[in-house]
Amino acid sequence: MIDRAAEAVETTMSEDDVGAFVPGQRFRVEGRAGGPLAGLTFAAKDLFDVAGRPTGAGNPDWERVHPVPTRHAWAVQRLLDAGAALVGKTITDKVSLGIFGENAFYGTPRNVRAPDRVPGGSSSGSAAAVAAGLCDTALGTDTGGSVRVPASFCGLYGIRPTHGRLDLSGMVSQAPSSDTTGWFARDADTFARVSSVMLCEDIPRELPRRLIVATDAFAFADPPVAAALQPMVEQLGALTGWVGDAVLAPPGLTVWAGAQRILQPYEAWQTFRDWADRANPRFAFNVARQLAQAAAITESDLDPAREVREAARAHMHELLSPGTVLCLLTTPFPAPLRGQPWSILDPLRARITGLTVVGGLTGSPQITIPGAKVDELPIGLSIVGRAGSDVTLVALARAWATQ
């Protein structure tokens, strides 16, 4: 099957050069014989438990104080049961905090599609490994963009499923109201096969009948990005048969992002505060600063943010009637250069999360599709559906890729 977005893996980099795997965590666990994913390989972000191996969570002071798990995370077990072979654990930003994929402890995985650029994070190693052809698919987590952003930067298919749909047992939590398990693939067919297994649902032939272009989201894009994505928007529109436009966030995406910048860090601090207290873990300064700011959020800050979230969820439910899909850019620009000061990266991060907020705040499923480039750098287009419509999105992505 021809895939219009899947690129051949062309790299002269060795696996060591890519640096996607946690040092010492390259191994092989065979999947069940004869399953639907037999013959495929996968990697798991180091936030997922693999029995008998430490869960590192991107921070040496996590591993130091947490016991080695005795059973696989649900997502790992699901893929093994379906026949895929697990080939290692991949590097993640520190306890999933980080959107660029630069890790001071384990190194920054190399983005083979843009070697001088960051891979995106926090599921940086999973994206880098799939992009480099070191495995067919890989598990990531997405709380605030951690699958969607590296998928966009590395030119991959990636999904953030409907919040609450998958069993997250054995996955290190960050902010439970927004945490999801996602995955990557280089081509739409593999992506659909893995998605069907993970979502426990067949991918339908039927496609959504309406495509809504989110005008306010496209206003976030660098102009060449919007132009590069335009052909894909038109192709998706042709597949659905009807194209309209709408405002994604009536109060403004910055209002949504502002609410999520209270809700998500507040929960993250609840998740990590006891560990931070007992282990006094080392963090890169910008990560520690996020957590320190999170620690200063009070209960009274939450109510207005929760009101914004409720309104956002109601709006998405109304906008996305069954058969309707929303289209927006995944990231406002391609991957930034590696090794930049955070005084440069912080404003970029704010622009990215201004777009990725839709997933964490509303719980809607989102798929990012590769296929566009700006200055030879990959950039993804996203489709979002109403809660529970994950397989419809997968169907549309596959139809687009293989038509």
Give the catalytic positions in this structure: 45, 122, 146
Query: Considering beta carbons, is residue 219 or 337 the nearer one to a second copy?
Result: 337
| 8 A C-beta contact, residue 255 and residue 308 | yes
Q: Give the binding site for a second copy (CB under 8 A).
A: 61, 102, 104-105, 276-278, 280-286, 288-289, 291-293, 295, 341-343
CA distances to 127, 164, 292, 326 from 256, in Å: 27, 20, 22, 17
The amino acid present at 73, given as its one-letter code, is A
In this structure, what token pair is assigned to residue 42?
Answer: 């996968």
Which structure tokens are listed for 336?
Answer: 């930034």
Residue 88, amino acid: G
Nearest distance in Å: CB 261, a second copy: 15
Nearest-approach distance from CB 344 to a second copy, in angstroms: 9
**Closer residue to a second copy (CB): 46 or 216:** 46
Helix axes 285-295, 342-362, angle to 10 degrees: 50
Our CB check for a second copy shows the closer of 172 and 320 to be: 172
Local structure of 29: helix, strand or coil: strand
CA dihedral 167, 169, 170, 173 (to 10 degrees): 90
Amino acid at 155: G
DSSP string, 81-141: HTTPEEEEEE--SGGG--SS---TTT-----TTSTTB---SSSHHHHHHHHTTS-SEEEEE
Q: How far is the CB of 355 from a second copy (least distance, A)?
A: 24
Nearer Cβ to a second copy, position 95 or 151?
Answer: 95
Nearer to a second copy, 282 or 317 (CB): 282
Q: Give the three-state DSSP class for 380.
A: strand
Residues 6+ apart with CB under 8 A from 204: 391, 392, 395
Quote the least distance from Cβ 32 to a second copy, whole Å. 41
> Least distance from C-beta 221 to a second copy, angstroms?
27
Q: Which is nearer to a second copy, 243 or 295 (CB)?
A: 295
Closest CA to 158 of 116, 202, 114, 128: 128
Q: In what side-by-side order are the strands of the sheet with 243-246?
A: 21-29, 85-90, 41-45, 137-141, 181-185, 157-160, 366-374, 377-384, 324-329, 210-214, 243-246
| Residue labelled with tokens 């990557």 | 184
Residue number with CB closer to a second copy (284 or 311)? 284
- Please report how close the Cβ of residue 172 comes to a second copy at its closest, in angstroms: 17
Q: Give the shortest CB-116-to-a second copy separation in angstroms.
A: 18
- What is the DSSP pairing of strand 377-384 with strand 366-374? antiparallel
